Structure 1
């Protein structure tokens, strides 16, 4: 395939811009708090767009449109479940987590918060939660690298092996250099680019088919099942797709954005901005896949790429329908989605290794400068492992994401929720809940009982375990309950 010069130029300009932001952020990174949470200085707009961009990975522009193109509108149940889950996460978790982490020793990471919230002197909570983060996030990072590799492979005709490194290199550089501020500032740019691409592309696709009415007629003529919300779905399948929304309560890279807000008062405005962005982007992604059915039904000679891999649909439509300069910008949106999520995941893994393991077990008196550099080296280590996991060219983005999403949702989601709303929750309740949630996902995934998405039994069993074990154990100390109550009062005061 001939490499398009405009696309190459557009990609290079975009990537250089992101790296430049990383070096600008480097100058504002003075200590480990800055590197991991940006000194808790994010305003409502950056909080909202950064949370959205870090959430919606390459899955938004590849996995979801591909699933809709392959199976019809019935796959949009995932988008509905995610929208509900995200709104509840903003409403219930965001503000409370911002306040509670500050009241509990200014916790910088989720393991840090759990350890302080439950007065865990044994540090077992810190270790278990850090290990869960490392296992599932490394898989999640691999999904982002696969998406980036697919983009470079298709767009520039690279081998998959070369594309792996090309897709990951820029993200690794600006995350390594600039830390959380670089990740958050680039997320804001990337979220804007994703929004532009997902609004413009479906409009042009519809117009190219002849309008909305003609597009729907073509889709119906191909198969009425394409517009059936319950196509080949029973009750369990619908619940499984909606169950994706449960994952939001336990995603460390999204929760980190709430912790980094300049104040819990910023959360309300951030929620409105974030939800508008998310709903429009999800609607755009669904529309790309859905109306892509009509386009390729009318133009079967151009459908070779999507026939080989349905996750290519956004890429193929951008290349076919747009001027190469505009196509380059649109395809940069996929890279933006990949980079925004991958950078957040690398940073959370780095913080787990540095703050929760290195500092607490190896170098308790490490200087801030030392911790920042250890954090940077951990970014490189996790990236190398994720690239190795992504080396199989048969990997599918949606499959990798669903596994990691379920793991975090079940292991951390119930623990985060109960720790923020229930004063009576104990250390042992948190520990057992975390283990039960993670173990359920790992086992259920292997046996696929009932065809039910593993996050649902994982979330349910973890919640029951937390309540039962907490009620059977001794009440938390008076000091722990006072800290919880003080944080809750602060949260409710405004």
Structure 2
């Protein structure tokens, strides 16, 4: 069943052409390898803020969270609180030091930075870090392509696999040509579109249903409440710890923290932080409001995660609806492009540059990066060709993997003057094993695996640093 019409076709077409035009523009503007993978460290604070948050929230903000609220009120409030706190701490404690120290060590990727800061001359830490990034980001990108395909299928009625190729092909086009700058500038416009949509839809819905009274009645009829006291399980210690634990993942998400490395000046980070926090808080409130007003608009829906799509189709004329549908596409695309770029940069910087020993030109490195984007995209697309692919269930798993493996290490590396590379390698390995075993044993259903993985990383790294401090 399709929701959109010819207007959505036209809107999507214009929108995709606009994104590709950005790619062409920055293809002409990009001359050096550093510009291609990090924007030459000259990105403004507005673009940095919007790009980081658009890449972060993805389709979860417009699809997952409203669907969860529609089903059970604010049972997911701990995740929301955890993400909000994590966002602020990331901008406050990680961003300034990461921007300065990566430039001091001439590092363009996270694996290279960790390796150089810990004096890993043999490259073991860098190699392990790069493998983790490549594995999880390929899966992450595939899950985004699945969402892309389903969106095109439900809105335009086209074949799911064709939808994967159209959406993914557009991302590849502008990312392949324009690199990092094309990615952050498309993220900037996508972030604005997402913000606009997440405000206007619940406001229109609120007045359409007749205000808060009608929403309260509908919630009572469906036995849904925003009062957590009516959901004892939501107040249990494991649920609270697991929800807040999502915030621990921010410090280790390469596609988010790489944005800190590219800002023009450390002095502009406080402005970016302010913009980012306003965007996050208002967007999360808007997302919750979508779920609550949706309860009053629809007694039942076939797929709760599509409540935002259903509301747009019911409340707006086709042309406005087409623009708002594009916001959902934006949420998905912004994350995939950021992930593809980080994975490509990892292959180029952390493997190719050190395997091929001869002198390499900027042009050669840029084209190697573009080829790597194609390779990763092909693998991710093959994984996404099955509409029922299980990669979607691995999104939270990947967040836990990055958060447990990288978050403690990033904090230690940034705030310690010296750190021993072998200690990092051991702690990262322990964290990886902990996350995998915790998830596979089913314990992740009790407490989110990022929590034990993060704690094991911190404990092991702290103890080893105390034991081996004389080896630095």
Is the TM value for this pair above 0.5? yes
Q: Select 1:458's aligned residue among 443, 453, 460.
A: 453
- Is 1:185 equivalent to 2:185 in the alignment? yes
1:423-459 Cα distance to aligned partner (Å, 9 max, x none): 2422122112221222211221111226110000010
Structure 2 gaps of 5+ residues are none
Q: What's the CA shift for 1:213?
A: 2.2
1:14-163 → structure 2 map (5 Å cutoff): 14-104=15-105, 106-163=106-163
Equivalent residues of 2:71, 2:224 under 8 A apart:
no
Aligned residue in 1 for 2:437? 443
Aligned residue in 1 for 2:294? 292
Equivalent residues of 1:145, 1:390 under 8 A apart:
yes
Q: Select 1:314's aligned residue among 308, 315, 340.
A: 308
Distance 1:395 1:310 in 2: 19
Structure 1 gaps of 5+ residues are 478-494
Q: What's the CA shift for 1:474?
A: 4.0
1:148-174 Cα distance to aligned partner (Å, 9 max, x none): 112101001122222221221111110
Equivalent residues of 2:139, 2:391 under 8 A apart:
no
Equivalent residues of 1:202, 1:291 under 8 A apart:
yes
Distance 1:166 1:76 in 2: 35
Residues 1:253 and 1:224: Cα distance change in structure 2 (over 3 Å): closer
Q: What's the CA shift for 1:220?
A: 2.1
Equivalent residues of 2:36, 2:181 under 8 A apart:
yes
Distance 2:322 2:378 in 1: 28
Distance 2:309 2:335 in 1: 19
More moved, 421-430 vs 44-53: 421-430
Distance 1:175 1:158 in 2: 24
1:271-295 Cα distance to aligned partner (Å, 9 max, x none): 0001100111111112112221221
SS in 1 for 2:108: coil
Aligned residue in 1 for 2:466? 471
Aligned residue in 1 for 2:257? 255
1:233-382 → structure 2 map (5 Å cutoff): 233=234, 234-297=236-299, 300=300, 303=301, 307=302, 309-382=303-376
1:133-162 Cα distance to aligned partner (Å, 9 max, x none): 001111111221122112101001122222
SS in 1 for 2:116: helix
Residues 1:476 and 1:331: Cα distance change in structure 2 (over 3 Å): farther
Equivalent residues of 2:118, 2:418 under 8 A apart:
no
Q: What is the count of residue pairs matched by the alignment?
A: 468
Residues 1:436 and 1:6: Cα distance change in structure 2 (over 3 Å): same
Distance 1:291 1:218 in 2: 9
TM-score in terms of structure 1 length:
0.91
Distance 1:363 1:350 in 2: 19
Equivalent residues of 1:197, 1:330 under 8 A apart:
yes
CA RMSD in angstroms comes to: 1.7
Distance 2:415 2:369 in 1: 32
Equivalent residues of 2:111, 2:130 under 8 A apart:
yes
Aligned residue in 1 for 2:197? 197
Distance 2:192 2:405 in 1: 31
1:291-323 Cα distance to aligned partner (Å, 9 max, x none): 2122112xx5xx3xxx2x222111111112111
Equivalent residues of 2:51, 2:259 under 8 A apart:
yes
